[in-house]
Amino acid sequence: MRTYFTMLLLAMVVSFVATPIASRLAFLIGAVDRPDPRKIHREPTARLGGFAVAAGFCAPILALYFLDNRVAQVFQANESLILALIFCGLTMFAVGVVDDVVGISAGKKLVLQIIVAIGMYWGGFRINELSTPLGPTWQLGWLSGPITVIWIVGLTNATNLLDGMDGLVAGVAAVLAVSLAMINILGGNSVVALLTFCLAGSALGFLPYNYSPARIFLGDSGSLFLGLVMAGISTISLFKAATAALVLVPLLLFGLPLFDTTQVVIGRLRRGQHPFSPDKTHVHHKLLRLGLNQKEAAFFLYVISIFLGIAAIILSKYSNRSVFVGLLVVGGLIGASLLAWSWHLRDRRRPPEDPVPRPDA
């Protein structure tokens, strides 16, 4: 545990120190987000936060070469897998930097994401089986490749699309990474726990600069990097029988970005729009319209992510039908409470009706 804490702290420090450097670099190379009617911010803001997040993630891993303990030995035994993750993550970071500076069309960016995801598959990040609490395990066979690529590309894009409000993706990624760490510690997968602590630390170190009012944005470089790394880590932990071979665990854990992307894309298709066209239909936009400010909306979505993370941890440890049903009941009660709260906010914002004029006496 001492090594885990050290890696978490080192990632936080490196990310925190690198963020001001990333901000200055962003203005030098033109990676600046200009305000427009679709966006929430009102001032030109640097959007190269991925530089700090990537540095915070990679630095502790490189430091393991100078340690001599059990965790470092496990790292060295899995060195090729971890280096493949870093290489693919930095490749996706580079794609994001180009998009932040000069822009890349959605189609070209999707093709590049698929290429990187295929590289991760050949690097050892594979989903070979799926199971649920209600049935036997499914061996995927030749479907392993397509499903792995779809999962990696889907979660990477979901994280990218969620990034539309100060502090949202950095905070949610930190919650998801800590939840992943707990799942893998309970499952005895120390190398994956190490990676997730590095990821959590890099997001937490960046968050003070990104929380509302943000002084720097993640940009595509940061959100794509975070999404790809989380997707890659999940394929070697959540889909492995040694930890939790339940398809519901990753769906629960990443429920917020996956739900947000699904409802946005479906809504755009129903309106006859391109699925990647920008709009204001994300979950955070709806919370802002209900009357929350950015800090309140971000905190609300942090709480949702924490609940989903706890549910995923419980289900990964006690993967039986009764626990599954219990989580459904608790989730339903929480969902009903949140729905009632949203109605209260809507009513609070509704202007009072004009009084009915009384007839003349």
Per-residue pLDDT of the chain (361 residues; tens, 9 = 90+): 777 788 899 999 999 999 999 999 998 888 887 766 555 556 788 888 999 999 999 998 887 777 676 767 777 777 888 889 999 999 999 999 999 888 888 889 999 999 999 999 998 898 887 765 555 667 778 888 899 999 999 999 989 888 878 888 999 999 999 988 888 888 778 788 888 999 999 999 999 999 878 889 998 999 999 999 999 998 887 765 433 445 667 777 888 888 888 888 888 888 877 777 766 778 887 778 777 778 888 888 888 888 888 888 877 776 555 555 555 555 555 555 555 555 555 555 544 444 444 344 3
Q: Are strands 138-139 and 129-130 parallel, antiparallel or unpaired?
A: antiparallel
Residue 14 lies in a domain: yes
* Integer Cα distance of 168 and 138 in angstroms: 35
Residue 360 lies in a domain: no
Residue 355 lies in a domain: no
* Integer Cα distance of 74 and 193 in angstroms: 11
11: helix, strand or coil: helix
Residue 356 lies in a domain: no
Residue 354 lies in a domain: no
Q: What is the pTM of this model?
A: 0.83
Domain containing residue 244: 2-349
Exposed/middle/buried for 358, CB within 10 Å: 0-12, 13-18, 19+?
exposed
Q: Are strands 45-46 and 32-33 parallel, antiparallel or unpaired?
A: antiparallel
User: Which 8-state DSSP code applies to residue 124?
Assistant: T
Residue 359 lies in a domain: no
* Integer Cα distance of 169 and 223 in angstroms: 7
Secondary structure element (H or E) that encloses residue 225, with its range: helix 219-235
* Integer Cα distance of 86 and 7 in angstroms: 16
**Strand stretches in 269-347, DSSP E:** none
| Tally of domains within the chain | 1
Residue 358 lies in a domain: no
Residue 320 lies in a domain: yes
